[in-house]
Amino acid sequence: MLKLPQRDFAATLPLKPGTIQLSDTTYITPKEWRWLITVSSLLALLVFAPLMWVALRGTENWQFMGALHNYRDGATYLSKIELGYSGSWLVYFQHTPEDHAGAFIQVLYLALGHLARVISVSPLIAFHVARLGAALIMYIALYQFAAVMWSRIRTRRTFFVIASIGSGFGWLLAPLLQTETFPDFALLPEAYSFFSTLVNVHFPLTFAVLALLAAMLILALRPGLTATTSIFIYPSIIIFSLLLALLYPQALVPIAAALTAYTALLFWRRHPGALYSLRLLLTLTLPALPFAAYYALTVRYNPMMAAWNAQNLTPPPSLPVMLLGFGLPLLLAIPAIFRAARRFELDGDRLLLLWIAAILVAVYLPTTTGRRYAVGMIIPIAYFATRAIEDVWLRYVARRWRTFIFVLVSMVIAISPMIMLFLPIVSALVGYPQAAVGIFLERDYAVAFGWLRDRTDAADVVLASPVVSTWIPGWVGSRVVAGHPYETLNAVEKEASVRAWYAGTAECSALIAPFNIKYVIVGPQERAIGTTACIDTMRVAAVIDDVTIYTPILPTAP
């Protein structure tokens, strides 16, 4: 078992009741800070390398729409920032044409919109700047977790590297098996630190809160300190609980379940620290209960939110695939995991082992959102990998080879995230951006969106092909008929209806009157669907080279 220096557990002077000297435990030297800021900045900026390439090189006649990874969800984040930019503090799904009540969910993006309006920047810029800031916060929080756990700089950096860029064997097995269902290869960005920074703002912020919360709980539960607490412990846990409830409520479930199991074991063994652990558990769970009640009532009584929740299906991969998705970090962690399970001592090992177990149980429970509970899973795996490296694996590596082996392992565990970083722009790199439609659209659409933005509001409905409709709420601010598999009510049926309308196999009035459509877009993506015969009954509102905007002529009342 690793031994931490005396300063990690006790001060040179006797502790007064009710205090913990946090500075002794979490101290990070100025040299470490310089290293951390440098490495974190490089990792955060690396995420923007593909964006910079697109911005500097450009794609002739094609417009980058704003999100490289999981562009459909990226478009919904932009639409919510646009709502905040317009002054709303409630989320309305702009990817569906029906009027509906809003909900206080995904408030981070609404707040970004309000901030963007105050400082006069576009929602798109606000989104990407926030991603950069969230990534930096996450990396600092991961290192702070390491500083709580270990005093040796080498060990802290080992954990930081594994936790930051660690991934599995998806890069090898996904191409061989012709599948994208590997966690570290497109399926589970919320489970990996670097991968999370590619897709949105709330994933890396959730990572940061989880790392700080886990560090705080481990610090508070250390043997010998369970009867005392710092004035910082309880307020910090309350803040972390509230942040997770706002950012990513599912993240609270596994770590709260782990602390529940930890506390139950203390009571079962009649441990004197059981009541103290119970107080920590209540401090973690009670602040989030009002949010849980609100979310449950919203899904129960708001029909649109209920439909969204029913469509928002995220089943997990099989257990073997899940384990392969953590690859080398998990293999390295096996000795430490076995030792933690065998000894099951009252230290960080027990809580983090229970955290991994709780994640797996939550992921594979028969729910519709199973894989969302895997958020932050690389943190406890990286912890056990680091413990095993220090206690076991370094014994078998000669000192002169350690740096080489460390670099080699770091390169292997970073293969999947590096592939995922650049994969969306491969087609553009070879001069074929049309293979990445959705990430890119013909440039005329961007001009058309600007025209529409000046002539529509949030209640207006614009008809376009599904791939074009994905971006209209974020770029224009108006609604669409079908644009997202989760946030469009009856998404499958609506997408089929839109395609049938453009293909000329549906009544021309089938969509126009029921959804009170104000404008219809016809461009390359719409013509690719079919004949667009229904446009013969419409009035031309604007022609932007290869994109035409029409105004439907609604029948007059008798």
- Band of residue 55 on the pLDDT scale cut at 50, 70, 90: confident
551/529 Cα distance (integer angstroms):
20
- Band of residue 185 on the pLDDT scale cut at 50, 70, 90: confident
66-70, 226-230, 271-275, 291-295: lowest mean pLDDT where?
Answer: 226-230
In this prediction, residues 518-542 reach a mean pLDDT of: 90
Q: What is the pLDDT of residue 2?
A: 36
pLDDT of 314 strictly over 80: yes
**Mean residue pLDDT across the chain:** 90
Q: What is the pLDDT of residue 230?
A: 61
Residues facing residue 517 across a β-bridge: 461
Whether the Cβ atoms of residue 95 and residue 76 lie closer than 8 Å to each other: yes
Q: What is the pLDDT of residue 225?
A: 56
355/376 Cα distance (integer angstroms):
10
Q: What is the pLDDT of residue 302?
A: 92
pLDDT of 536 strictly over 90: no
pLDDT of 207 strictly over 60: yes
For residue range 416-434, what is the model confidence (pLDDT) as tens digits? 999 999 999 888 888 888 8
Tokens 């930051």 -> residue: 164
Whether the Cβ atoms of residue 304 and residue 489 lie closer than 8 Å to each other: yes
151/156 Cα distance (integer angstroms):
7
In this prediction, residues 340-350 reach a mean pLDDT of: 86
What is the CA 322 to chain-centroid distance, rounded? 18
Write out 21-43 in H/E/C secondary structure: CHHHHHCCCHHHHHHHHHHHHHH
Q: What is the pLDDT of residue 26?
A: 64
The pTM (predicted TM-score) of the whole model is 0.92
468/71 Cα distance (integer angstroms):
12
Whether the Cβ atoms of residue 374 and residue 363 lie closer than 8 Å to each other: yes
In this prediction, residues 445-463 reach a mean pLDDT of: 96
DSSP secondary structure letter of residue 212: H
| Torsion over CA: 184, 190, 192, 197 (sign) | positive
Q: What is the pLDDT of residue 213?
A: 97
pLDDT of 539 strictly over 60: yes
pLDDT of 7 strictly over 70: no
In this prediction, residues 378-396 reach a mean pLDDT of: 96
